[in-house]
Structure 1
Amino acid sequence: MPEAAPSPSPAPKPKSAPQKAMEKLGLLRDIDLALHLPLRYEDETKLTPMAALREGEPAQVEGVVTDCQVEARARKQLLVRVADDSGSVLLRFLHFYPSQQRQMAVGTRLRLRGEARVGFFGREMVHPVVKVVIEDTPLATALTPVYPASAQLPQAYLRKAVASGLARADLRELLPEGVVPRELPSLKEALQFLHHPPPKVSLAQLEDHSHPAWQRLKFEELLAQQLSQRQAKLEREKLRAPVLKASQGGLVERLLAVLPFSLTAAQQRVVEEIAQDLARPQPAHRLLQGDVGSGKTVVAALSALVAIDAGWQCALMAPTEILAEQHFRKLVDWLEPMGIRVAWLTGSVKGKARQAMLDRAASGEAQLVVGTHAVIEDKVRFARLGLAVIDEQHRFGVAQRLALRAKLKGDGPGAGPPQGGASPLGGSEPKATWGPTGSLEPHLLMMSATPIPRTLAMTYFADLDVSTIDELPPGRSPIVTKLFAAGRRLDVIDKIRYEVGQGAQVYWVCPLVEESETVDLRNATETHAELAAALPGQMVGLLHGRMPPKEKAAVMSLFSGGTMSVLVATTVIEVGVDVPNASLMVIEHAERFGLAQLHQLRGRVGRGAKASVCVLIYTAPLSDTGKARLKAMVETTDGFEIARRDLEIRGPGEFMGSRQSGAELLRFADLQEDAPLLQMARRLAPELLERHPGAARAQIQRWLGTKAEFLKA
């Protein structure tokens, strides 16, 4: 007799809307629920006599329904009169169900919470929270939490889920005795207090996060974050990388001898710091930051030459084709006369030309490969990659940077040498192995023209070595920043007419409207037509993100060559464009731009000897944030001061994205207010990892879970 087929397993039960909403908020584990803290609290621990209600103040009252009726005006309204011993209040419901009317029948005792106002019929509440009181329902003994939620996630459902998660979560003390300051409560006590604070607690201390319970959470969070980054750094130190040293009288010295300028003291310092990194057998993981125009490209070129001189390849990746091409042109000018072969690889390089570039990278013929994210695609292989340079690294998403690191380590399909094994390049370490086990990992140098305030670098980049170019090359002209209201647009056009008559060149930047490329394009196109009509005899160009790469390149060539007087562009020219003769930058709707972006755009002028001006055209009324940004732009041209103010305006999470972008890594701590806690966490992290590695791992897992991976990017 044939065996009966096994009965199919029941289909999984579909998730409810609140369950889906909780997943979207990242509330997956019990500890996630326990750490989902209230935004504010409601006091349901006491009752206010109805006669004592004050207009505009939330309060809780209790009384008996004396009247309940639907009034038919322009729209139906449910009006309910409730009274206690001191007086009465009218409840007004503009939206209601028949079941609500039945719930509030005459004679029913109700407990109400809402904001009182004085109407035509005396005191009233509009859409209060209503509870039917059955047999002296007791009052709450703690403040009622109001949690961050969404439309699909009712507070009642979330409160129950959080209470359940808090009860189940493993909140044992993970940290050894003596690590946590004595004045702070245990983590379990802190969380129970913050979810259900007693009625007599200082609401001010809860709201400004200065209460000891908040301090405990912030300390734990900062410690977990510092532990994670310290651990990432220690793990990287176990990896091996090629030892890259420039030879005496080699490529580095040859380039320095032919450059038409001398390095600044700051450039010399960071070149030496990077050279020391590359000479170690551990992979470098360094961030090079410097203000716009501080000369990071030549530092990258000298770093690449260290690798090439040692017989290895270098890859340089930039976020946009315009920026990548800017680097490519400079590097070709500097390096090809020295016999260095440079390959160009972006999404617009197709067909045979693309295959030729891939072959040159794979064979080792190309000693330097410059391009966009196309450099990390699966088909791109390197014979002997010793150094990767990522420019404007914050413009790449976390996933892209993690994929790049995996590829470089040999974990991806595009890593390692071509089949056949032996590298065609000479060098000091011909026996390099490739692959996930025992492989050599290339050194990594990241560059950013968005300076990072020190406290932020300490927190978000604790696993990185940071080099800073803190001076500009001599000969850079000062930039004056001026504000113009939108009504003075014609005055700005008159200024442009005068400037181009004097032989200067001008940028006019239109804002990027993310919701609609069509609106964005129309804005730029209309401005281009307006300026072309206002400036007869002058060439006015248009540059936007939807143009084919060849057209973009042709426009930029005309502008950089001096043939084109005015360039109307969207923010595709934000970084990397270098036209020394351009001395006027006009930014339209400046209030729509972020502070760092405004500073980057302003940095496109002031690159020659001519005094330069940046005009910010704004449309009133301005928000407080908009005013603060424009004020900062007028008051300073120092990128580090701009970064400090940007951090003040936006806060660390938004400033960094998700260490540019994923979920915000610090939810509770404030980098400026909690600097003492941050210093304490930095001091304790190495000691904890060394003496109590198990506790350190558990702390990271509790607080970061999978987010720890983002810190490695």
Structure 2
Amino acid sequence: MGGDGAAPIRASEALRKKLAKIGLQREADLLVHLPLRYEDETCITPVARAAGGRPVQVEVVVHGNEVQYRPRRQLIVRAADASGEITLRFFSFYPSQQAALSAGSRVRAFGEVRGGFFGAEMVHPRFRKVGDDEPLPTELTPIYPSTAGVANSALHKLIARALESADLADTLPDELRQQLKLPGLARSLRFLHTPPPGTDLDTLHARHHPAWRRVKFDEVLAQQLSLRRAWLARREQGAPVLVARDDLGARLLDRLPFGLTGAQLRAMAEIARDLGQPYPMQRLLQGDVGAGKTIVAALAACQAISAGWQAAFMAPTEILAEQHYLKLAAWLEPLGVKVAWLSGSLKGKARREQLAAAAADAQLIVGTHALIQEGVDFARLGLAIVDEQHRFGVAQRLALRKKGSNPHQLMMSATPIPRTLAMSYYADLDVTVLDELPPGRTPIKTRLIADSRRDELVGFVKKHVEEGRQAYWVCPLIEESEALQLQTAQETYATLLAEFSGLTVGLVHGRLKADEKQAVMAAFAAGEIDVLVATTVIEVGVDVPNASLMVIEHAERFGLSQLHQLRGRVGRGAHESSCVLIYAGPLGEVARQRLKIIYEHTDGFEIARRDLQLRGPGEFVGSRQSGVPLLRYADLEADADLVEMARGVAENMLTAHPELAERHLQRWLGSREELLKS
């Protein structure tokens, strides 16, 4: 914050270590460490008028205290003011607190008053001893996020001192700030740290006050500036210029038994343009389940290959990676493309052969995390494709990029990203959306049934399979857990073997060896298995058109994204498809909401939007967060207009006011911005 903002917090070494646990290291960090809530200690409420439902402050004289041991150890303090008596109850306390609450002590206690067996009482109030006629505070009391060993009063003093000495010069030019109708930053921060008496607490707590709006805008702007700067920095890096020298892509399209959708053609045009640039592409290709991302990736690989470079295709699981390998090899090998395969289960001579191919003449290398292991070298990597990119961390994606000379990167996700999330957490990427499904995808009917109707469901599945179709039966655990009493894959497999006499039941889960998993999946794809009992290893990438029924055990335990992904394994053939969600009651409120959303919606983008509302952005974007700062104050849904505003301002600031942009980033992110540069 100017010169002093980067200085470390002036405190003892022990206190600095505790503050670091909550992200407070610089004086500047204290200024933007804002209250969770506020308490009004500017007035005294008589005990007789202290109604429940809202915290109040009472000033009382202690009559006496005692430690009781039933039903549990607790400190009971009897006290009173002129209007009535009150009990202060503490279930955990120190001897020093008991001494401070001895008979005759005058204390101010803050908390919610409720009716107890012995009349009015406060449970675990915040209190302090006071003298006769001690003046009341003139400001509301801010309550800050803290950690063990750091009292709110200590934080308050540190922040007050930082406010006095800080350079709070505004990073928004006056004309721009007035145009955006935002108050000044210095005024906003001082107001939020020390709101005057009479300020509406509801407005403060709901974060609707103009001062909160300014702070939220600045926070979003810092994120946008950082991500936009990372985006611009990539334009300064060199990358292979991948211009096709032959018609490999056209020949692949000619061999396909289907045509591309308009969305796929638009996506391919955007990617083809990027690959021809002298700076690295970093594009996210997102589309709903079954939108046809794999063929777009294959055509991108064709462009790299026909330009004389290699393409690598990395997927998070062996089942998914092998599905991609088999499909891509079937498409490209007849066209003369050499496709290599690398996975963790590949051993001995077979592994050495594939490693040699990657380092020499293989043009497309498909695999799992094995692609980024030490000892894996590429001859001329020009394009790195990462499927289900949210399952990989920043470091893993960076490791693949480092295998080549700054190759272009295409990341894919079948978990649609809500628009507000894409604008904020993915602002450093170019985003392409496949918003159109290929023709022939049959609608999937979703059904909810209680666990008590399991026998009825077994009969339904048996009838379905006897008509010549196949079914998945998905379970959340592999073996019995005492902590989570769920139907397990192994138990279900044993039960269905007995129930479905004359039918073939298979089992696949993450603890099987890779070749065992592959054998089961190949048998299911060939129609040799009627009912496949599985864990979520079949969540993505599995494509069996004859499988038109999906049963999901304990659906209330799955996230919305997983449920939508699993449901997308059916509906890939000509038959009407169903997804049956079995739930066990009683349902919690969040589980009830999730099941309602998945039952009512099939559009992945709408499901993702609702999922964001339920979970918040931190959990939604997962491992990507190792490189992107989370928003602490802004809410992506409620403050979407601020995200829109900040995007435009960030672009303008970086070109017209780079020095203000730098100061703004230092104020809000400091050294944390370095994380984004990976």
TM bucket normalised to smaller:
over 0.9
Question: Are residue 173 (structure 1) and residue 170 (structure 2) matched?
Answer: yes
Deviation, structure 1 residue 463:
2.5
Measured in 2, the distance between the counterparts of 1:661 and 1:49 equals 51
Q: Show CA shifts across 1:501-522 (max 9, x none).
A: 1111111111259997996998
Question: Are residue 383 (structure 1) and residue 379 (structure 2) matched?
Answer: yes
> For residue 33 of structure 1, what is the amino acid of its counterpart?
L
Residue pair 1:47, 1:61 contacting (<8 A) in 2 also: yes
Sequence identity of aligned pairs in percent? 60
Of 608, 627, 642, 1:643 maps to: 608
> For residue 43 of structure 1, what is the amino acid of its counterpart?
D
Of 686, 689, 701, 2:651 maps to: 686
- Equivalent residue, structure 2, for 1:108: 105
Residue pair 1:659, 1:665 contacting (<8 A) in 2 also: no
Superposed, which structure 2 residues align to 1:572-611 within 5 Å? 572-611=537-576
Measured in 1, the distance between the counterparts of 2:166 and 2:319 equals 51
More moved, 645-654 vs 71-80: 71-80
Q: 5+ residue gaps in structure 2? A: 1-10
Residue pair 2:88, 2:122 contacting (<8 A) in 1 also: yes
Of 231, 234, 244, 1:233 maps to: 231
Measured in 2, the distance between the counterparts of 1:307 and 1:624 equals 49
Q: Show CA shifts across 1:225-250 (max 9, x none).
A: 121122112111111222212235x2
Deviation, structure 1 residue 211:
0.7
Deviation, structure 1 residue 452:
1.5
More moved, 514-523 vs 689-698: 514-523
Measured in 2, the distance between the counterparts of 1:146 and 1:355 equals 61
Residue pair 1:657, 1:664 contacting (<8 A) in 2 also: no
Measured in 2, the distance between the counterparts of 1:238 and 1:144 equals 49
Measured in 2, the distance between the counterparts of 1:605 and 1:482 equals 14
Change (3 A) 1:70 1:371: closer
Question: Are residue 558 (structure 1) and residue 529 (structure 2) matched?
Answer: no
Question: Are residue 50 (structure 1) and residue 43 (structure 2) matched?
Answer: no
Measured in 2, the distance between the counterparts of 1:313 and 1:74 equals 71
Question: Are residue 193 (structure 1) and residue 158 (structure 2) matched?
Answer: no
Q: Show CA shifts across 1:567-625 (max 9, x none).
A: 11111111111111111101111111111111111000001111100001112222222
- Equivalent residue, structure 2, for 1:426: none
Question: Are residue 451 (structure 1) and residue 425 (structure 2) matched?
Answer: no
Measured in 1, the distance between the counterparts of 2:188 and 2:479 equals 42
Measured in 2, the distance between the counterparts of 1:606 and 1:132 equals 69
- Equivalent residue, structure 1, for 2:284: 287
More moved, 233-242 vs 478-487: 233-242
- Equivalent residue, structure 2, for 1:395: 391
> For residue 604 of structure 2, what is the amino acid of its counterpart?
G
> For residue 192 of structure 2, what is the amino acid of its counterpart?
L
Question: Are residue 209 (structure 1) and residue 204 (structure 2) matched?
Answer: no
- Equivalent residue, structure 1, for 2:4: none
2:410 is paired with a residue of what secondary structure? Answer: strand
Measured in 2, the distance between the counterparts of 1:664 and 1:27 equals 15
Measured in 2, the distance between the counterparts of 1:73 and 1:298 equals 69
Residue pair 2:47, 2:83 contacting (<8 A) in 1 also: yes
Deviation, structure 1 residue 205:
1.6
Change (3 A) 1:706 1:577: farther
Residue pair 1:659, 1:711 contacting (<8 A) in 2 also: no
Change (3 A) 1:521 1:377: farther
Residue pair 2:223, 2:629 contacting (<8 A) in 1 also: no
> For residue 552 of structure 1, what is the amino acid of its counterpart?
K
- Equivalent residue, structure 2, for 1:533: 498
Change (3 A) 1:70 1:255: closer
2:666 is paired with a residue of what secondary structure? Answer: helix
Question: Are residue 85 (structure 1) and residue 82 (structure 2) matched?
Answer: yes
Change (3 A) 1:607 1:152: farther
1:180 is paired with a residue of what secondary structure? Answer: helix
Question: Are residue 35 (structure 1) and residue 32 (structure 2) matched?
Answer: yes
Measured in 2, the distance between the counterparts of 1:402 and 1:179 equals 37
Residue pair 2:486, 2:554 contacting (<8 A) in 1 also: no
- Equivalent residue, structure 1, for 2:511: 546
Superposed, which structure 2 residues align to 1:144-543 within 5 Å? 144-151=141-148, 153-167=150-164, 169-181=166-178, 183-248=181-246, 250-363=247-360, 365-405=361-401, 407=402, 415=403, 440-512=405-477, 523-543=488-508
Residue pair 2:628, 2:676 contacting (<8 A) in 1 also: no
Measured in 1, the distance between the counterparts of 2:675 and 2:453 equals 46
Change (3 A) 1:319 1:77: closer
- Equivalent residue, structure 2, for 1:665: 630
Q: Show CA shifts across 1:147-167 (max 9, x none).
A: 223455443444444445545
More moved, 475-484 vs 239-248: 239-248
Measured in 2, the distance between the counterparts of 1:76 and 1:283 equals 65
Measured in 2, the distance between the counterparts of 1:274 and 1:74 equals 68
> For residue 85 of structure 1, what is the amino acid of its counterpart?
A
Q: Show CA shifts across 1:189-214 (max 9, x none).
A: 22222122122111122122111111
Structural RMSD (CA): 2.6
Measured in 2, the distance between the counterparts of 1:161 and 1:711 equals 29
Measured in 1, the distance between the counterparts of 2:499 and 2:137 equals 71
Deviation, structure 1 residue 175:
3.2
More moved, 636-645 vs 482-491: 636-645
Residue pair 1:361, 1:381 contacting (<8 A) in 2 also: yes
Residue pair 1:512, 1:520 contacting (<8 A) in 2 also: no
Question: Are residue 140 (structure 1) and residue 105 (structure 2) matched?
Answer: no
- Equivalent residue, structure 1, for 2:22: 25
Deviation, structure 1 residue 118:
2.5
Measured in 1, the distance between the counterparts of 2:377 and 2:26 equals 40
1:653 is paired with a residue of what secondary structure? Answer: helix
Q: Show CA shifts across 1:467-494 (max 9, x none).
A: 2211111111110000011111111111
Measured in 2, the distance between the counterparts of 1:66 and 1:52 equals 20
Change (3 A) 1:14 1:525: farther
Change (3 A) 1:710 1:566: farther
Deviation, structure 1 residue 659:
3.8
Measured in 2, the distance between the counterparts of 1:228 and 1:257 equals 44
Measured in 2, the distance between the counterparts of 1:72 and 1:678 equals 54
> For residue 186 of structure 2, what is the amino acid of its counterpart?
K
Change (3 A) 1:517 1:93: closer
2:667 is paired with a residue of what secondary structure? Answer: helix
- Equivalent residue, structure 1, for 2:122: 125
Residue pair 2:478, 2:535 contacting (<8 A) in 1 also: no
Q: 5+ residue gaps in structure 1? A: 1-12, 408-414, 417-439
TM-score by length of 2: 0.92
Q: Show CA shifts across 1:323-365 (max 9, x none).
A: 11010000110111111111111111223322222221112x1
More moved, 653-662 vs 131-140: 653-662
Measured in 1, the distance between the counterparts of 2:30 and 2:424 equals 25
Measured in 2, the distance between the counterparts of 1:120 and 1:101 equals 22
- Equivalent residue, structure 1, for 2:662: 697
More moved, 562-571 vs 164-173: 164-173
Residue pair 2:87, 2:122 contacting (<8 A) in 1 also: yes
Deviation, structure 1 residue 122:
2.7
Measured in 2, the distance between the counterparts of 1:101 and 1:126 equals 15
1:625 is paired with a residue of what secondary structure? Answer: helix
